Amino acid sequence: DTGVSQDPRHKITKRGQNVTFRCDPISEHNRLYWYRQTLGQGPEFLTYFQNEAQLEKSRLLSDRFSAERPKGSFSTLEIQRTEQGDSAMYLCASSETSGSNADTQYFGPGTRLTVL
Q: Which stretch binds other proteins (CB under 8 A): 16-24, 29-37, 63-71, 78-86?
A: 29-37
Per rule CB under 8 A, is residue 74 in the interface with other proteins? no
User: How many Cβ atoms are within 10 Å of 36's Cβ, its own excluded?
Assistant: 23
Name which position in 18, 51, 104, 114 contacts other proteins (CB under 8 A).
Answer: 104
Per rule CB under 8 A, is residue 40 in the interface with other proteins? yes
Contacting residues for 53 by C-beta, under 8 A, at least 6 apart: none
Least spacing, CB of residue 43 vs other proteins, in Å: 5
Nearest alpha-carbon partner for 106 in 93, 96, 115:
93
